[in-house]
Structure 1
Amino acid sequence: MNHPSPHTAHHGAHHVHEHEHDAGDQAEILDLDAEVLAEHIASITAWLPIGTSPRRIVDLGCGTGAGTLALLERFPEAELTAVDLSAAHLHRLQEKAAAAGAADRVRIVRADLDATAWPELGTPELVWASASLHHMPDPDRALRRIHDLLAPGGLFAVVELAGFPRFLPEGAPEDAPGLEERCHAALGHHHAEQVPHRGADWGTKLTKAGFTVEGERTITVDLGPPRTDAAGRYALSGLRRMRGSVASALTAEDLTALDRLLDTDSPHSIVRRIDLGVRTERTVWAARRA
């Protein structure tokens, strides 16, 4: 599950549109998303209505491999094709697969999923797309392509973020109560302009593309204190990325308060807060090709 950054989110992050100069920061937050939310990602792969375990899987917009590695663990007999535009993300994924002893089960394909033609991806029994569809300029076309790509009876799993994660309790921080909600409101306006397909009715879109939607589930994440170091770094990385999208919409007072949270040398830093949590939602649709 990828993409929790402000421009995906993303976890991923945006994977298929990632610019290489930004890939380092994006890779960090994708890796932290995978670490902090590992149990929730595993719960999604466990929920998928799979009959016979797939032997061929495609991960579209794989980022640094959170979904890839979860799928390889869930389906130990499967081979997986991981597709992303970012060479840096794919290199990181290869390192992770090697460390997990699964390098020989992963095929790397660098490709732009917005391109007119897609590379040869075989005939998978399972296709996974986490936090990537909403970035495509024509997701309906992509859904039709995925439908045709799948083996008959194959399953398509769509995972989308319900919003950017929240990290602070209500009423925090003390010098700007409600700051996080105001940042989220500004981010919502930004996404409405820049990412119009975020929050789309994916169930209806899947049906229109010829799929039969067999299940929909929302995974609620609520990781409260005591915080872990990974959760602190996840919050820091996420809020840094959010700042880039919302700074121009914040008051000077709110921007000062946000920068105080981002200052790791400050006693008010987000990484030092004992009340830090991680709250978010992910929705998954399981759709079958007839």
Structure 2
Amino acid sequence: MTHTHEHGHHQHQDSEQAEILDLDAEVLADHVAAITEWLPVKSGPHHIVDLASGTGAGTFALLDRFPEAHVTAVDASPGHLRRLREKASARGVGEQVRTVQADLDHATWPDLGTPDLVWASASMHHMADPDRALRTVRDLLAPHGLFAVVELAGMPRFLPEDAPADRPGLEERLHAATEHFHAEHVPHRGADWGPMLTAAGFAVEGRLTVAVDGSRHASIGRYALTALQRLRAAAAAELAAEDLIALDRLLDTHGPHSILRRDDLAVRTERTVWAARRD
């Protein structure tokens, strides 16, 4: 693969990732708002750092909750950060948002100031060395600053358990088929971050699990389509041939069995947040 092709490939991956991040933010906006409302802040934070911010779901939820704050959004993807800046400008909060492109797996992070709140949503389990990242956050925070770690219990489910009619239970088998992939590539997904936060020098002040069961939204079909396309890439080698055929029928947006044509989709997922204070 030439450098030009690699660049194009990364841009395509970036664009796909951005789409699912935007859809996730749109469909689960109330869910994220409930988490920001719960945060045990003693006063409105002035400076927030959003680690691995993606296209800004957390950034804008936090600005809705703390409209006087300034947010530093950090991400490795220039495409995501460009999209985030465009959204900030469209929302009229461009002057309150600063973006920093950085690979958080590097031992040395760029200067992110001294925030009184650090937010890490669905990002800590991707860190190559999460213990080091936790210690870095602790050193970064202002005294008595708050660190919010938000993690998801796997990818959302969308289909009824008896769907599709010819291969009932397909979605659960699809998730089961990705377990080996995720165990190898993201071993900290689903971890209990409480003990790790304590070991890094934080005092855990609270833990909350927010469940979504049956949430419907105008964009749910596109959200389900994008999520299942990503799962297919991770599960294809493990799935039975009949399941792969049934899945491809769902993913064929022009076919009669397209997931976009279904009226029985609902989001089922949950996220857990740990709120930890720097001693």
**Shorter-normalised TM-score: what interval?**
over 0.9
Equivalent residues in 2 for 1:103-252, closer than 5 Å: 103-224=94-215, 227-252=216-241
Whether the 8 Å CA contact 1:58–1:124 is kept in 2: the answer is yes
Q: Can you give the 5+ residue segments of structure 2 that lack an aligned partner in the other structure?
A: 1-8
CA distance in 2, matches of 1:171, 1:223: 15
CA distance in 2, matches of 1:108, 1:169: 40
CA distance in 1, matches of 2:198, 2:10: 32
Q: Match for 2:59: what amino acid?
A: T
CA distance in 1, matches of 2:91, 2:31: 19
What residue is the counterpart of 1:262 in the other structure?
Answer: 251
Q: Match for 1:112: what amino acid?
A: D
CA distance in 1, matches of 2:218, 2:209: 26
Shift of 1:228: 3.6
What residue is the counterpart of 1:10 in the other structure?
Answer: none
Whether the 8 Å CA contact 1:58–1:127 is kept in 2: the answer is yes
CA distance in 1, matches of 2:266, 2:256: 18
Runs of 4+ with >3 A deviation = 18-21
What residue is the counterpart of 1:253 in the other structure?
Answer: 242
CA distance in 2, matches of 1:207, 1:286: 11
Normalised to the residue count of structure 1, the TM-score between the two structures is 0.92
Q: Can you give the 5+ residue segments of structure 1 that lack an aligned partner in the other structure?
A: 1-17
How many aligned positions are there? 271
What residue is the counterpart of 2:267 in the other structure?
Answer: 278
CA distance in 1, matches of 2:100, 2:21: 19
Shift of 1:19: 4.4
CA distance in 2, matches of 1:62, 1:25: 16
CA distance in 2, matches of 1:21, 1:268: 26
2:43 to 35, 48, 52: 52
Q: Match for 1:247: what amino acid?
A: A
Normalised to the residue count of structure 2, the TM-score between the two structures is 0.95
Whether the 8 Å CA contact 1:20–1:86 is kept in 2: the answer is no
Whether the 8 Å CA contact 1:131–1:160 is kept in 2: the answer is yes
RMSD across aligned positions (CA): 1.1
- % identical equivalent positions: 68
